Amino acid sequence: MLADQARKATFKLYQYRNSCVNISPTLGMELFDRLIAPILCYGSEVWGFHTANSVENVHIGYCKSILRVKRSTPNDMVRSELGRTNMYHLRLVNVIKYWLKVTAANPNRYIYLAYNVLLQDAVNGTSNWSSLVQNLLFKMGMSDAWNSQGVGNIKVFICVFKQRVRDINIQEVRSRLQETTRGSLYLLFNPNLVCSQVLENVSNALYRKALTRLRLSSHHLNIETGRWHKPHPIPRNERICQVCNVLEDEYHFVCECPVYNDIRLMYIPAYYVNRPCMYKFIALVNSSNTITLQNFAIFVYKACIIYARTFQNVFN
């Protein structure tokens, strides 16, 4: 029900967002956090332990629309590009905030009395809200808070809890990404899984979209389209460039293929073009120089247009 309500609000937000000129991804996500997330998390202090896939689908769908990538783009990579975690971790923070509020309540209030009933039931082996809070705190290495049934400085504790949740999430995401070739490449682009510099440093929406798609393997190079081949994917070593007869991956597209030599020399600094290697390629994608990054985004955009015309593919 909450997901349906949030989806309706998201469609309305799309209308307002599309009426604005070149709204930044950061501002787009801030609008989501202020207008849509409260709907998705309504009452999550109580039901927050539920996985709620329908709620997460609304969130990840909006993230992909902000980045303008394909729906098949891996969710972990999309959230990492925006420097975000999933909604489940946000709900866990809400649960702990509410637990701290309950434990600090007046002993005569109904909410405190009801919580004590839950505690007693949990001691007797019943799985309920309080037992789930206990398991969560123990998992986060914060058993002292549970044993004390409260903390000293609530603000400091919440900050530490948020950071610990995020650290654990990053470890889990990194572990999942390392299991795939796309994910392993993305970890080279974004090793700390923080918000991409592309989102702020490349102001033109079309150029930003092209570079983001390259980073997230959401493109139409053979290294990616070979996965879609029916009835069976094309073996990775056979996804070759039609001109060079070598593996057509992101590195070959940016650094080697002679089809793009003219615009490569025009938009990419000579250091990266001369004697290219994977180290230089990663340094170019991760460049902190705004001018270099903007020019690189222009190169990717124009190269994709050439690719679509030359090899009769479509780059949307």
On whether the CB atoms of residues 157 and 46 are closer than 8 A, the answer is no
Residues whose CB falls within 8 Å of the CB of residue 192, separated by 6 or more in sequence, listed in order: 170
Q: Which of 164, 167, 163, 159 is nearest to 141 (CA)?
A: 164
CB atoms within 10 A of CB 27: 12
Q: If DSSP codes are grouped into helix, strand and coil, which group holds residue 264?
A: helix
Q: What is the pLDDT of residue 315?
A: 44
Evaluated on CA atoms 7, 182, 28, 158, the torsion sign reads positive
Averages of pLDDT over each 10 residues, the chain, 316 residues: 94 84 85 94 94 94 94 93 92 94 90 91 89 93 90 91 93 93 92 90 92 94 89 90 92 94 95 94 93 96 92 53
Q: What is the pLDDT of residue 22?
A: 73
User: Measured over all CA atoms, what is the biggest interatomic distance in the chain, rounded to whole angstroms?
Assistant: 78
DSSP at 256: I
On whether the CB atoms of residues 202 and 293 are closer than 8 A, the answer is yes
Q: What is the pLDDT of residue 19?
A: 79
Q: What is the pLDDT of residue 280?
A: 95
Cα dist. 55→15, 86, 113, 165, 238 in Å?
21, 10, 31, 19, 39
Q: What is the pLDDT of residue 316?
A: 44
* pTM score, whole prediction: 0.89
Amino acid (1-letter code) at residue 61: G
Burial 113-149 (b: 16+ CB within 10 A, else e): eebeebbeebeeeeeebbbbbbebbeebebeebbeee
Q: What is the pLDDT of residue 292?
A: 95
Cα dist. 281→49, 246, 268 in Å?
42, 17, 11
- How does DSSP assign 277-296, residue by residue? -HHHHHHHHT---HHHHHHH
Q: What is the pLDDT of residue 312?
A: 58
**Which residues make beta-bridge pairs with 240?**
247
Q: Which of 3, 91, 92, 1 is nearest to 54 (CA)?
A: 3
Residue 251 main-chain phi, psi, to 5 deg: -65, -45
Q: What is the pLDDT of residue 61?
A: 95
Q: What is the pLDDT of residue 23?
A: 81
Domain residue ranges in the chain? 198-311
